[in-house]
């Protein structure tokens, strides 16, 4: 290359001097081009800047308030918000563990009637957006909800106790977060070497002792990692908390922003929430410990025979009926009842065509943009020696780790100050979506790319392919299924996303999520039925499509059973390393791909 450069320079100099030099070689020398690595790094730098600048601006706004701001942050009323958030997070973690661990154990190890059905039905709770779950729970168990209607026919009741507040928020979020614990735990129960438990049996331990001394320690990283995801989700959830009027950070930030338009105070609250989230990540780093229960040796992998549970199957079935009933059947039933009752009310029905078109368009645009950006970033991550690029990509995942409301506010503040032309436009909304969900697409592509041996790239280069040709001819075809799965995942997430849409969408642009939100705010519940059911239906179909696609023989594991199984372990190794960010944040719905093996 240096020789090329010199030759090019001499010729350039000669041309300047007025000499007419005929090209001596077969082709004109060209300027040294950027190699692929540098091009990828530029993409990474730009992406990281776009994601991070608004957040930096938000932090600057918050800290700019100085002592006055600090005093405001330490007011008892502000501290109540903090304690509310912590109480909710801790109780949701406990609830999710109480559901997730038995669920994992029963579906992985026990002779349960209709095991597959319960597994799939249970996983469907993941497609219910938190605001929809909360609205339907409220409609069913609220003071004058459906349960009241039912009971009032036989009992002289005035009203039922109000579930709004902590209990309602706790129930709504617990019902959708327990799979974060159940799925990794189940993967460990299925994937760990059965010989470990057999060894303990042969060393004189009974079943319960084996569980306590071997199984539980093996599960610990999965439970820790899962609990962390639950906690992150709880802290960042906006929908359920807002519907249930529980004054946690996300709701308080939104109220501060909408009611008083006090950006500085909203920024202070957002900063507090960011710090809390970072604290949680640090905590995980301290708690996590390396456990590797996977089998080392050769030989056919074996599974433990399912345990007969005898009479215990009745309480177990009741447990599953409760979870599936509250988490899946109830939202569907309530939405269905609204759909049929709509005629009773004299309100204009929503323009479903328009709503669907808008939702589909913004979701598709955001998903394609994220997919296109994810590929180069995932390729960059293949180069393990490049620390800088790992940092950059990890930093981009902060858009996904941090609560949606915070990210959206940061963008609004930033745009209002520096990009007034973008303020209240669809491009800004799309930018918000990409910021939020790019890491989903990255991790999908990444885990598939990691399966591809570097020898293939070397072979292709040896056969005369340029780097970009290698990408198009080797990586893209081999990772296609996963790249598409990642795009689909972003599509589904955008379709359901409430806080980003609520804050960033231009007036008049309505998606399903914002439509449901405003119908709820105006107490026009009957308008929720159609869009709500459509949202659930598309999400469920999307989930099934992604799972089926990944099940095809030969398809590289996409969004990653392997990744999920290793999540807690890898997170520990790399929390110090920024990749842990990407891994932990991996998704707010991380279990989805792991469900593949379940099907």
Partner 1 sequence: MTIALACQQLGKRFDTVLALTDFNLSLQAGQLLALLGPSGCGKTTTLRLIAGFERPDSGEIHIEGRVVAGPQGFVPPENRRVGMVFQDYALFPHLDVAGNIAFGLKGGREERRQRTESLLSLVGLEGFGARSLQGLSGGQQQRVALARALAPEPALVLLDEPFSNLDTHLRVRLRAEVRAILRATGTTAIFVTHDQEEALSVADQVAVMSAGRMLQVAEPWRLYHEPVSRAVAELVGESNFLPAEAEGRVARCVLGELDLRQPASGPVTLLLRPEAIQLTGAGQVRIEEVQFFGDHQRLRLRLADDTGLTAQTDSRRRFQGGQGVGITVNGPVLALPA
The shares of helix, strand and coil residues in the chain, as percent rounded to the nearest 5, are 75, 0, 25
d(CA 525, CA 336): 12
Q: How far apart, in whole angstroms, are the C-alpha atoms of residue 371 and residue 438?
A: 8
Site string for partner 1, 84-123 (x = CB under 8 A): ----------------------------------------
Cβ-based nearer residue to partner 1, 64 or 217: 217
Is 199 near partner 1 (CB under 8 A)?
yes
Q: Smallest distance from the beta carbon of 213 to partner 1, in angstroms?
A: 8
11 near partner 1, judged by CB under 8 A: no
Asked if residue 41 lies in contact with residue 391, where contact means CB atoms within 8 angstroms, the answer is no
Helix (H) or strand (E) holding 364: helix 352-382
Could you tell me which stretch among 47-55, 166-174, 188-196, 232-240 binds partner 1 (CB under 8 A)? 188-196
DSSP, res 215: I
For residues 65 and 256, the answer to whether their CB atoms sit within 8 Å is no
Extract the tokens encoding 443: 């991790």
In the Cβ-directed half-sphere of 134, how many Cα atoms lie within 13 Å?
A: 28
**Which of the ranges 127-135, 192-200, 411-419, 458-466 carries the binding residues for partner 1, by CB under 8 A?**
192-200
- Choose among 150, 153, 155, 130: nearest CA to 140: 150
CA atoms within a 13 Å half-sphere pointing along the CA-CB vector of 555: 24
Which one of residues 156, 297, 462, 554 is an interface residue with partner 1 (CB under 8 A)?
297
Bridge partners, 110 (sequence order) = 307
Q: Which stretch binds partner 1 (CB under 8 A): 216-224, 389-397, 416-424, 433-441?
A: 216-224
C-alpha 203, offset from chain centre: 42
Identify the three-state secondary structure at position 345: coil
> Smallest gap, in angstroms, from Cβ of residue 51 to partner 1?
36
- Please give the size of the binding site for partner 1, defined by CB under 8 A: 27
Q: Which helix (H) or strand (E) holds 516?
A: helix 512-521
Nearer to partner 1, 196 or 364 (CB): 196
Q: Which stretch binds partner 1 (CB under 8 A): 217-225, 233-241, 313-321, 416-424?
A: 217-225
Residue with Cβ nearer partner 1 (295 or 382)? 295
Contact status: 295 vs partner 1 (CB under 8 A):
yes
Of positions 214, 244, 395, 502, contacts partner 1 by CB under 8 A: 214
Sequence-distant (6+) residues with CB within 8 A of 71 are: none
Nearer to partner 1, 143 or 194 (CB): 194
The two structure tokens encoding residue 446? 């990444």
Nearer to partner 1, 115 or 201 (CB): 201
From 202, 259, 348, 552, residue interacting with partner 1 (rule: CB under 8 A): 202
Read off the DSSP letter of residue 126: G
473 binds partner 1 (CB under 8 A): no
Question: By CB under 8 A, what part of segment 380-419 binds partner 1?
Answer: none
Smallest gap from Cβ 298 to partner 1, in A, equals 7
Instruction: Provide CB contacts within 8 A for 188, sequence distance 6+.
Output: 218, 219, 221, 222, 293, 565
| Choice between 20 and 202, CB closer to partner 1 | 202
Q: Which stretch binds partner 1 (CB under 8 A): 130-138, 224-232, 293-301, 444-452?
A: 293-301
Residues of this chain that bind partner 1 (CB under 8 A): 193, 195-196, 198-206, 213-214, 217-218, 220, 289-293, 295-299
């Amino acid at each position: 290359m240096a020789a090329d450069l010199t030759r090019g320079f001499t010729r350039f100099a000669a041309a300047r001097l007025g000499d007419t030099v005929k090209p001596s070689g077969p082709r004109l020398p060209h300027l040294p081009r950027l190699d692929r690595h540098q091009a990828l790094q530029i993409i990474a730098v730009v992406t990281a800047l776009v994601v991070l600048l608004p957040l930096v601006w938000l932090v600057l706004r918050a800290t700019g308030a100085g002592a006055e701001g600090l005093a405001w942050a330490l007011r008892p009323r502000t501290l109540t918000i903090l304690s509310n958030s912590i109480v909710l997070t801790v109780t949701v973690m406990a609830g999710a563990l109480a559901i997730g661990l038995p669920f994992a154990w029963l579906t992985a190890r026990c002779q349960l009637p209709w095991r597959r059905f319960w597994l799939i039905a249970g996983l469907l709770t993941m497609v219910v957006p938190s605001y929809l779950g909360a609205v339907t729970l409220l409609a069913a168990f609220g003071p004058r909800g459906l349960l009241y209607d039912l009971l009032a026919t036989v009992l002289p009741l005035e009203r039922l106790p109000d579930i709004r507040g902590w209990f309602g928020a706790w129930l709504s979020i617990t019902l959708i977060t327990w799979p974060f614990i159940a799925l990794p735990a189940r993967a460990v129960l299925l994937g760990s070497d059965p010989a470990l438990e057999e060894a303990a049996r042969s060393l004189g331990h009974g079943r319960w002792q084996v569980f306590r001394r071997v199984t539980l320690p093996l599960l610990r990283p999965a439970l820790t990692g899962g609990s962390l995801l639950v906690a992150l989700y709880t802290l960042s959830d906006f929908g359920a908390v807002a519907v249930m009027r529980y004054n946690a950070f996300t709701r308080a930030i939104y109220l501060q922003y909408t009611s008083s338009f006090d950006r500085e105070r909203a920024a202070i609250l957002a900063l507090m929430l960011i710090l809390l989230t970072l604290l949680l990540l640090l905590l995980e780093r301290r708690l996590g410990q390396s456990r590797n229960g996977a089998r080392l040796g050769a030989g056919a992998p074996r599974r433990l025979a399912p345990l007969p549970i005898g009479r215990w199957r009745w309480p177990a079935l009741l447990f599953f009926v409760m979870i599936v009933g509250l988490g899946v059947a109830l939202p569907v039933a309530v939405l269905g009842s609204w759909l049929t009752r709509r005629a009773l009310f004299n309100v204009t029905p929503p323009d479903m065509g328009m709503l669907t078109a808008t939702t589909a368009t913004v979701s598709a645009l955001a998903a394609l943009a994220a997919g296109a950006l994810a590929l180069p970033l995932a390729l960059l991550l293949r180069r393990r020696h490049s620390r800088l690029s790992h940092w950059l990509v990890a930093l981009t995942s902060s858009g996904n780790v941090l609560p949606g409301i915070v990210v959206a506010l940061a963008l609004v503040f930033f745009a209002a100050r520096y990009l007034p032309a973008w303020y209240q436009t669809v491009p800004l909304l799309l930018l918000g979506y990409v910021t939020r969900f790019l890491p989903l697409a990255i991790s999908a592509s990444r885990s598939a790319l990691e399966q591809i041996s570097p020898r293939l790239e070397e072979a292709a280069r040896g056969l005369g392919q340029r780097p970009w040709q290698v990408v198009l001819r080797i990586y893209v075809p081999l990772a296609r299924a996963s790249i598409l799965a990642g795009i689909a995942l972003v599509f589904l997430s955008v379709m359901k996303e409430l806080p980003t849409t609520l804050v960033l969408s231009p007036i008049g642009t309505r998606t399903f999520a914002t439509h449901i939100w405003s119908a709820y705010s105006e107490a026009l519940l009957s308008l929720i039925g159609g869009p709500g059911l459509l949202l659930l239906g598309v999400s469920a179909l999307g989930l099934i499509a992604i799972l089926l696609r990944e099940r095809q023989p030969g398809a590289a594991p996409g969004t990653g059973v392997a990744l999920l199984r290793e999540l807690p372990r890898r997170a520990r190794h790399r929390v110090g390393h920024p990749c842990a960010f990407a891994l932990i944040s991996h998704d707010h719905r991380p279990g989805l791909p792991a469900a593949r093996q379940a099907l």
